Amino acid sequence: MSNKLSRIYIGSICNRDLEIFDKIKKFCYKNYNVSIVNLLKKDSNTFNVKHFKKQIKKFPISFIIVKLYSAESNQEIYKAIREFAPTIPLLNSVRAVEICESRTNTFKFIEQRARKLNVPKIFYSLKEAHNACSNGIKVIIKLDTHNISNLPRNDRIIGIAKNVSDFERLVENRKEKDLFFQTYLGSFDIVYKIYVIDRWAVSITSYNRLRETENLTPLELIHIRIPNDKQLKRRILRLGRKLGMPIFGVDYIITKEGIPYIIDINDFPSFRSIPEAISLLSDYIYNMVALQQQFFKTTARAKG
């Protein structure tokens, strides 16, 4: 395994959850002789097209991992991948990463392509959400951008409009394009989470982050594993396949009628509460590359 000629090179464009990602890098190198090459500029941790092209030419990259904070500048990254590395497989597709940057786009995709999954009703404009409030519907208002750097999770939720007065106060001086509106289903003591790595999925519970009486950070949340509902698991795995996203996380709640509602999706979550995730993710990455290499060898023999 130490033979340099047998080394596998994987590219990474990652700027979030770096502590977890560093563990994956070490595990991959130690157990599989996989070197993860940083495709961001090392000193500044920013993306540069020239640096990206140079690294792609320098190393025989077999795979690219994209794990980013949401930012307008990410479009440059997506464009560069499509233009200069169109044949290199990605852990999660560019399309999936792009969709998950926006809550509106994420839930619109579920509504259109995964209709058997339940989601709280979305309001696609400020006017539509205002009208809903006028008709007695409580509306939860969030920032539309999903992974925002240096912004605590609780601050991504602007508030819950129980009436028109609440709504107008909460959206005052805010741009409509920055907001996400959805029916508020009520306060839930427990939020359920499913973490997915290919066909493997594990469910945990956590205290609800939305409760105004408790300002718990993610590290202070108490997690408890629970059995997977088989039907829900199948539907969530199917959603991942439709998105081209084998690595992701889903938050959901269960109503008093026993109906699960998806309230959040995260491409490549931190897996902080899943001790075996480092080895499972590393195994998946290596197996994907190994399958890819076997395919090319088989194809080459067939042509020969």
Strand 139-143 to 224-226 pairing: unpaired
Tokens of 35: 């070197």
Same domain, 12 and 85: yes
Closest CA to 33 of 57, 58, 55, 9: 9
Query: Torsion over CA of 90, 245, 264 and 200, rounded to 10 degrees?
Result: -120
Sign of CA dihedral 234, 240, 244, 245: negative
Domain count along the chain = 2
Same domain, 12 and 86: yes
Q: Which CATH number is 138's domain given?
A: 3.30.1490
Note the pLDDT of residue 210: 46
Q: Considering the domain boundaries, does residue 152 fall inside one?
A: yes
Same domain, 87 and 34: yes
For the full predicted model, state whether its pTM sits above 0.85.
yes
3-state secondary structure of 206: strand
3-state secondary structure of 255: coil
Q: Considering the domain boundaries, does residue 201 fall inside one?
A: no
Tokens of 30: 């130690």
Q: Which of 149, 166, 184 is the last residue of a domain?
A: 184
Q: Which of 184, 200, 231 is the last residue of a domain?
A: 184
DSSP string across 62-93 = EEEEEE----TTHHHHHHHHHHH-TTS-BSS-
Q: Considering the domain boundaries, does residue 128 fall inside one?
A: yes
Q: Considering the domain boundaries, does residue 257 fall inside one?
A: no
Q: Considering the domain boundaries, does residue 268 fall inside one?
A: no
Distance, first Cα to last Cα, the chain: 28
Q: Considering the domain boundaries, does residue 149 fall inside one?
A: yes
212-244 burial code (b ≥16 CB/10 A, e <16): eeeeeeeeebeeeeeeebeebbebbbebbeebe
Same domain, 67 and 129: no
Give residue 262's Cα distance to chain centre. Answer: 14
CB 284 within 8 A of CB 198: yes
Same domain, 79 and 156: no
Same domain, 15 and 66: yes
Closest CA to 152 of 218, 236, 91, 82: 218
- CA–CA dist 287, 277 (Å, integer): 15
Q: Considering the domain boundaries, does residue 103 fall inside one?
A: no
Find the domain containing 40 and state its range: 4-91+277-303
| Per-residue pLDDT tens listing for the chain (304 residues) | 444 447 899 999 999 999 889 999 999 999 999 999 999 988 778 999 999 999 999 999 999 999 999 999 999 999 999 999 999 999 999 999 999 999 999 999 999 999 999 999 999 999 999 999 999 999 999 999 999 998 887 789 999 999 999 999 999 999 999 999 999 999 888 899 999 999 999 998 876 554 443 555 555 555 678 888 999 999 999 999 999 999 999 999 999 999 999 999 999 998 888 889 999 999 999 998 888 776 555 554 555 5
Q: Considering the domain boundaries, does residue 159 fall inside one?
A: yes
Q: Which of 160, 184, 208 is the last residue of a domain?
A: 184
Q: Which CATH number is 45's domain given?
A: 3.40.50
Residue 45: left if φ>0, alpha if ψ -120 to 50, beta else—which one?
A: left
Same domain, 30 and 74: yes
Query: Torsion over CA of 239, 244, 250 and 254, rounded to 10 degrees?
Result: 0
Same domain, 80 and 127: no
Closest CA to 183 of 99, 119, 251: 119
Note the pLDDT of residue 45: 80
CB 12 within 8 A of CB 45: no
Q: Which residues contact 280 (CB under 8 A, 6 or more apart)?
A: 197, 200
- CA–CA dist 196, 205 (Å, integer): 15
